[in-house]
Amino acid sequence: MTKPLFLSFEGIDGCGKSTQIDRLAFFLRQQRVPHVLTREPGGTKVGDHLRALLLDPGADLQDITELLLIEASRCQLVQQVVRPALTAGKWVICDRFTDATLAYQHYGRKLPLAVCQSLNDLVTHNLYPDMTFLLDITPNISRERTAPQKRDRFERMDSGFFARVRQGYLALARLYPRRIHVLDGSAPQEDVFARIHHLLALHLEART
């Protein structure tokens, strides 16, 4: 487990991304694999400021403004965190990346696909994850797992929005089946991680 990998975790809110990222990080520490954990939006000083604005329930943002702020945060993240870590031989584990933009801003907000994709390509210089783990849950489960008083600007969207986002994610998984792996986010945490570990092992074996 020495070759650096760029891994992303995706899914609607409450799907268990944070839990599985923590499990994977613990495993990598045990294996003495150098790695970096980061997230979107955020992950840099500029990105964290943009994240606070994007998640603020009181922020009245136009959909295109939201998209541009997310891409600005991503540009900082790629240049300041992701590329340097990979160059240094470290794995990168990112909580959301470009798939989230297509799922949330294209499928969810209904912004043009070509605009979302071209901005993704522009700010990443066509850098995309080696593997993406999509933890799939229904909007109802998402709502049950998210405390109403703590819901951010995105989490306060209606069930129709999250249904579109979920279907968007699943559509992306069908388009990129070799990269995006769909996991049952409602399954026991141990079972989900066992599947992640298995898929990683297969990927690393194929690379040798």
Report yes or no on 1 lying in a domain. Answer: no
Report yes or no on 34 lying in a domain. Answer: yes
Report yes or no on 40 lying in a domain. Answer: yes
Tell me, what amino acid is at 159? S
What does the pLDDT read at residue 150?
66
The parts of the chain modelled with pLDDT lower than 50 are: 1
Quote the CA–CA distance of 114 and 205 in Å, as a whole number.
35
Total number of domains constituting the chain: 1
What domain range is 30 assigned to?
A: 6-207
**Radius of gyration of the chain from its Cα atoms, rounded to whole angstroms:** 16
Report yes or no on 201 lying in a domain. Answer: yes
Burial class (CB in 10 A: 0-12, 13-18, 19+), 152: middle
Report yes or no on 168 lying in a domain. Answer: yes
Report yes or no on 45 lying in a domain. Answer: yes
Packed helices 17-30 and 189-207: angle between N→C axes, nearest 10 degrees: 50
pLDDT tens for 197-208 read 999 999 999 887
Report yes or no on 38 lying in a domain. Answer: yes
CB 192 within 8 A of CB 20: yes
Supply the CATH number for residue 31's domain: 3.40.50.300
Report yes or no on 78 lying in a domain. Answer: yes
